[in-house]
């Protein structure tokens, strides 16, 4: 399938066929309208359809064309933000609920795979946490104690089984998981359609309205009315300000390197670095070598331009530890939303009516947070109590996360600084083919992109969300907003919210 979030293509998009779906041709009325055909949206649709609810799913791209297709698909109840950190922010009871919900998400994925016969390489695996160079060794003991208090099956072992690389002591977490995310979504979509649900692609939603006459309106003027609306678009497009002050957008980088079959066991591996590295294996068809998938090198969206160097550092990090790995055959990046208090926001949108629901703030655990969203939102729509509702409530406030909140808020303001700085280049003649640069035109900034054949496209550099100045992403060939993570194609078309409107054309 073609990439939707940028130029690069993940291994999942290269090796999956997802059902093609038509665009919306008429107004519809349903029980629940779900915007977003990633793991959160399709899991919600699947569970509601199984309970007899009429569901309509809308997406402006193909099924799985957003961030679900750019994950590394770790399925972990051992969360990367550390359980001793979650205890500080949410208390021991909150950390326990977080562990329980992520474990339940993996269990539900396993059940859906079995019940619907989805061939997606699902496997139960162990997960291993080890100490990065320069990090305190006692972090493992702190985390082991907190993870046990949270109810996880964890033990300290002499080393993680990463081949010739001696990690030193590690924590082993039992019953984690992995799968092929787009093959899983393909199976979910087929099951939704078989249950009477409807899925439409190429549908850009411009307006959301909750209440007694809840509906969404598309760019073509079509409307879908329903008793409830679920916004599962990675970042909530229906909310202009509030939720975007509670979380921060990050780019994370991934490479895929072939390694001889049997060199490593199937397992999840991650270290305590900041940013941390995360590793897993994926089998390949046709007797080919295994693929070693390695991620890391995160940074705030729109606040770095050394993209190729980040992929190169991942490759160097891997080759130093696993010299049997070949050259990288895949390189891609994805968008991660980091909540100030480390847990997703799932439930009723605090700035809307009671029948509008959101799922956002994946915090690098998108596959399990997305599945939790399906379970939790289904319960809320069906009028059932859910033990996780308070923990993930989008309206929650965390005084204990005030420092994290202030740090990320300050970082978000950097996107306004370029209003008063000089241009990156003085003329379009200085822009290489296939690249973009920021020009100044009087008081205005211009985002100029030179196409491979030489023509130059000029756009307003002002993000249509809250007015920050976008930056060129040379890896994904996109214009990225450094404030709240909106992303645009070279021609200005919206790739990621919260922006809902394209960058304005200047020529």
**What is the C-alpha to C-alpha distance for residues 497 and 196, in angstroms, rounded to an integer?**
29
Check if the beta carbon of residue 376 is closer than 8 Å to that of residue 361.
Answer: no
The model's pLDDT over 252-264, given as tens digits with 9 standing for 90+, comes to 999 999 999 989 9
Phi, psi at 439, each rounded to 5°: -110, 165
**What is the C-alpha to C-alpha distance for residues 483 and 470, in angstroms, rounded to an integer?**
9
Query: Which carries the bigger pLDDT value, residue 18 or residue 240?
Result: 18
The model's pLDDT over 350-399, given as tens digits with 9 standing for 90+, comes to 877 799 999 999 888 999 999 999 999 999 999 999 999 999 999 997 65
Which residue, 221, 195, 198, 194, is CA-closest to 41?
198
The confidence score (pLDDT) of residue 420 equals 47
For residue 81, name the pLDDT band (cuts at 50, 70, 90).
confident
Hunting for tokens 């390694």 — which residue is that?
A: 259
Q: Which domains does the chain have, with CATH numbers?
A: 13-71+182-245+342-407 (3.50.50.60), 122-177+248-336 (3.30.9.10), 421-496 (2.102.10.10)
Burial (CB < 10 A; 0-12, 13-18, 19+), residue 318, is: buried
Task: Name the token pair of 404.
Answer: 């994290």
The confidence score (pLDDT) of residue 397 equals 78
Instruction: Provide the strand spans (E) within 95-158.
Output: 123-130, 154-157
The model's pLDDT over 399-454, given as tens digits with 9 standing for 90+, comes to 565 565 456 555 655 555 554 466 677 788 889 999 999 988 877 899 999 999 88
Cα–Cα distances in Å, from 427 out to 250, 421, 437, 458? 30, 16, 10, 12
Phi, psi at 129, each rounded to 5°: -110, 125
Which residue, 459, 430, 354, 366, is CA-closest to 40?
366
The confidence score (pLDDT) of residue 324 equals 94
Mean pLDDT of the region 223-232: 97
Phi, psi at 359, each rounded to 5°: -140, 115
**Residue-wise burial string across 23-60, b where 16 or more C-beta atoms lie within 10 A, e elsewhere:** ebeeebebebbbbbbbbbbbbbbbbbbbeebbbbbbbb
The model's pLDDT over 33-44, given as tens digits with 9 standing for 90+, comes to 999 999 999 999
Task: Name the token pair of 171.
Answer: 């924590």
Beta bridge partners of 328: 257
**What is the C-alpha to C-alpha distance for residues 420 and 418, in angstroms, rounded to an integer?**
5
The model's pLDDT over 98-157, given as tens digits with 9 standing for 90+, comes to 999 999 999 999 999 999 999 999 999 999 999 999 888 899 999 999 999 999 999 999
């Amino acid at each position: 399938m073609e990439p939707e979030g940028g130029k690069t293509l993940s291994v999942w998009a290269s090796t999956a066929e997802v059902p093609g779906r038509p665009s919306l041709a008429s107004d519809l009325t349903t029980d629940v309208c779900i915007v977003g055909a990633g793991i959160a949206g399709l899991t919600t649709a699947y569970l509601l359809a199984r309970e007899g609810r009429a569901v309509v799913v809308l997406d402006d791209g193909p099924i799985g064309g957003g961030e679900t297709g750019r994950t590394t698909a770790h399925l972990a109840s051992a969360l990367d933000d550390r359980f001793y950190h979650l205890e500080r922010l949410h208390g021991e009871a909150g950390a326990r609920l977080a562990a329980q919900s992520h474990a339940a998400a993996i269990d539900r994925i396993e059940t859906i795979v079995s019940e619907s016969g989805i061939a997606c390489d699902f496997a139960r695996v162990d997960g291993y946490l080890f100490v990065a160079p320069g990090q305190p060794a006692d972090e493992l003991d702190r985390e082991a104690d907190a993870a046990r208090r949270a109810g996880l099956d964890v033990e300290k072992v002499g080393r993680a089984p990463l081949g010739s690389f001696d990690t030193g002591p590690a924590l082993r977490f039992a019953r984690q998981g992995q799968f092929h995310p787009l093959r899983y979504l393909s199976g979910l979509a087929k099951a939704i359609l078989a249950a009477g649900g409807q899925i439409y692609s190429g549908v850009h939603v411009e307006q959301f309205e909750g209440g007694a006459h809840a509906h969404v309106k598309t760019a073509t003027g079509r409307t879908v009315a329903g008793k409830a609306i679920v916004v599962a678009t990675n970042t909530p497009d229906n909310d202009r300000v509030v939720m975007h002050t509670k979380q921060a957008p990050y780019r994370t980088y991934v490479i895929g390197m072939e390694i001889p079959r049997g060199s490593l066991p199937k397992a999840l591996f991650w270290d305590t670095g900041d940013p941390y590295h995360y590793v897993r294996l994926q089998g390949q068809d046709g007797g080919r070598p295994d693929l070693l998938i390695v991620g890391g090198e995160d940074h705030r969206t729109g606040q770095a331009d050394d993209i190729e160097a980040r992929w190169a550092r991942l490759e160097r990090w891997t080759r130093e530890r696993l010299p049997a790995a070949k050259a990288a055959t895949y390189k891609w990046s994805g968008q991660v939303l980091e909540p100030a208090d480390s847990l997703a926001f799932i439930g009723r949108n605090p700035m809307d009516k009671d029948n509008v629901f959101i799922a956002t703030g994946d915090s690098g655990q998108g596959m399990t947070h997305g599945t939790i969203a399906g379970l939790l939102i289904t319960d809320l729509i069906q009028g059932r109590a859910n033990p996780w509702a308070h923990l993930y409530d989008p309206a929650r406030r965390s005084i204990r996360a005030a420092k994290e909140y202030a740090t990320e808020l300050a970082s978000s303001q950097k996107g306004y600084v370029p209003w008063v700085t000089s241009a990156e280049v003085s003329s379009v003649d200085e822009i290489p083919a296939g690249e973009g640069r920021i020009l100044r035109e009087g008081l205005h900034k211009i985002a100029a992109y030179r196409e491979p054949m030489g023509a130059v496209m000029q756009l307003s550099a002002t993000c249509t969300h809250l007015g920050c100045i976008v930056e060129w992403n040379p890896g994904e060939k996109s214009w990225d907003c450094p404030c709240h993570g909106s992303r645009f194609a070279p021609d200005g078309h919206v790739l990621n919210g919260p922006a809902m409107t394209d960058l304005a054309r200047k020529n």
